[in-house]
Amino acid sequence: MPPASTEVMDTICVVREMQLLNENSIRLLEQLFNNRLNAELIDSLVSGKQEELAVALFRVCTSTHSPHVVGFALRFFADLVSVEGSIGAQLGRSDLEKKFGVSPALAFLQIAQQNPDKLGLFNPAFYLGATTLRYSTYTANKESFDLFFSIAKYSMSRDTLHVADVEFVVQGCVQMAKRKELRALFFNEDIVSSIPRLLTDIVSNDSASIIQLIYETLVLTWLLSFEYEGIVHIVKHRMIPQLHRVLQRIQKEKCVRVALLILWNLVEAEQKYTRHQLNPNLEEWVDPRIDVLARIHESKEQSLGNAPANSRRGPSLVAEMVSVGMMKTLNQLCKRKFGDDDISVLVSQLDAALEQSMEVLTSFSEYRGEVLSSVLEWTPVHTSAKFWKENVNKFEDNNFEVLNALGKLILETKSDSTLAVGCHDLGEVVRYHPTGRNLLNLPSMHGVKEKVMTLMSHPNPEVSKSALLCTQKIMVQRWEYIQQ
């Protein structure tokens, strides 16, 4: 056995002075210290002694005032827990707080809180705190859970995000999110709002460390996407475009695989919601919490102050994937040879799901439902030339029902996004309908053309651009000759 390091010898001295272990157990600890990366040996040495080791190491970490001993003990403890999870599970036992006089999770997190810039102490202490909470009950450790999320939110909200400052915070969040009943805490604390920055704004000179952090962040998102409430937060914080960006820019297979798994969870959730809404009597069991997905559109419009009371359209997650260009990216991934065959299967499944949905997404019934809901978004139906060419005459149906509703939207909506899409759609009706401009003379369309013209000076550039293009289509005879 190689000679022990100064840190090992000093830590063993502390253990002897504090009389934490007998000599046989101290020799075991020395073996572990010197073989900390040998998982097989650790398993054989630790078996049956998990509680004894957990208690001893916790006391070393919290009972000595020597910074280098505490740092070494914390790092070793964190390494040991990552290899042998049963030791971490011991720390979550409800009876240990009485034995120690303090909650193990709270003790670790307080060390982290007191040493935010000393990563040798902060990182392992935060990881150990998270692991302990993973095996703890919320009611008995509310103070510790509150401190965990307070530290996590502070670390993720820094003006500049360095890998070293957040890598263990993300790993700690992953540890917690592995436990299903704790995931709701992430939504209550709005942790998902910090995730997009972790995928885009990280600073480091080491590309490998950035990739690893992106991977851990994706794993966290994936775990949260198993909850319907998590999907609502993922959509709310614009994660679908970020996942698309990962698939476009990151080559590492493990990152591609997890990004695809997240997207597949979203697709399956939307499919299940749709089946449930169309036929509530299906024998398929559906978690009643799936109804939370109806909030996706409501929350978007509420943020704009324009949420119709009867807006219950539910999720349009596949539509958003299509609108950000996911189909093209999936087609490119289909041509790529992956070492992991599961990735190719996932790509094919997602591509098929999006292809199948395109027929529905670009149908007139889908468009009618969107217009009558009073909420318009840039879903695929609006930008599909094929849709307008094949369906423009249907605007005459039911005494111009859909056209009238579109005109009313433009006149009354307070939503900038609905205004922009509405102006675009009106321009497409004028462009493709045989008597398009004459449709604006219908009594029900009174004032719509004038409103569009005033919107050319709207402060929102998206609205003003759509209004300008719509006005041009109204004013000219042959739009196809106009250079857009």
**Where residue 342 sits, what CATH number does that domain have?**
1.25.10.10
Residue 207 · residue 252 · CB < 8 Å? no
204 lies in a domain?
yes
Question: Does one domain contain both 371 and 389?
Answer: yes
482 lies in a domain?
no
Residue 74 · residue 121 · CB < 8 Å? yes
Question: Does one domain contain both 7 and 134?
Answer: yes
Cα gap 168→127, rounded to integer Å? 6
Where are the strands (E) in 112-206, listed by range?
Answer: 161-162, 202-203
Q: How many residues does the chain have?
A: 484
pLDDT tens for the chain, 484 residues long, are 444 577 778 888 877 887 777 777 777 777 777 766 566 667 777 777 778 778 878 888 887 777 888 888 898 888 888 877 788 888 888 777 777 778 899 999 999 999 998 999 999 999 999 999 999 888 888 999 999 999 999 999 988 989 999 999 999 999 999 999 999 999 999 999 999 999 988 888 788 899 999 999 999 999 999 999 999 999 999 899 999 999 999 999 999 999 999 999 999 998 888 877 767 666 666 777 888 888 775 544 444 444 443 444 557 788 888 878 898 899 999 999 999 889 999 999 999 988 887 766 677 887 888 898 888 888 778 888 888 998 999 999 989 999 999 999 999 999 999 999 999 999 999 999 998 889 999 999 999 999 999 999 999 999 999 999 999 999 875 544 444 4
Cβ atoms within 10 Å of 250's Cβ, excluding its own: 18
Q: Locate 359 and state its tokens.
A: 């027929």
* Residue where one domain finishes, among candidates 157, 187, 212: 157
Cβ atoms within 10 Å of 260's Cβ, excluding its own: 24
* Residue where one domain finishes, among candidates 157, 185, 202: 157
Cβ atoms within 10 Å of 203's Cβ, excluding its own: 11
13 lies in a domain?
yes
Question: Does one domain contain both 182 and 143?
Answer: no
Where are the strands (E) in 169-303, listed by range?
Answer: 202-203
Instruction: Output the CA torsion 199→200→205→210 (10° steps).
Output: 10
Question: Does one domain contain both 389 and 357?
Answer: no
Question: Does one domain contain both 339 and 440?
Answer: no
Question: Does one domain contain both 385 and 443?
Answer: yes
Nearest to 228 by CA among 315, 298, 310: 315
SS3 at position 203: strand
Q: Which domain holds residue 400?
A: 364-475
Cα gap 166→142, rounded to integer Å? 23
CATH number at residue 384: 1.25.40.150
* Residue where one domain finishes, among candidates 133, 157, 181: 157
Nearest to 272 by CA among 180, 209, 353: 353
309 lies in a domain?
no
Question: Does one domain contain both 88 and 213?
Answer: no
483 lies in a domain?
no
Residues 6 or more apart whose Cβ sits within 8 Å of residue 340: 253, 257
Nearest to 216 by CA among 237, 202, 226: 202
Question: Does one domain contain both 61 and 132?
Answer: yes
Q: Locate 116 and state its tokens.
A: 């935010």
Question: Does one domain contain both 125 and 264?
Answer: no
Residue 144 · residue 105 · CB < 8 Å? yes
Domain count, the chain: 3
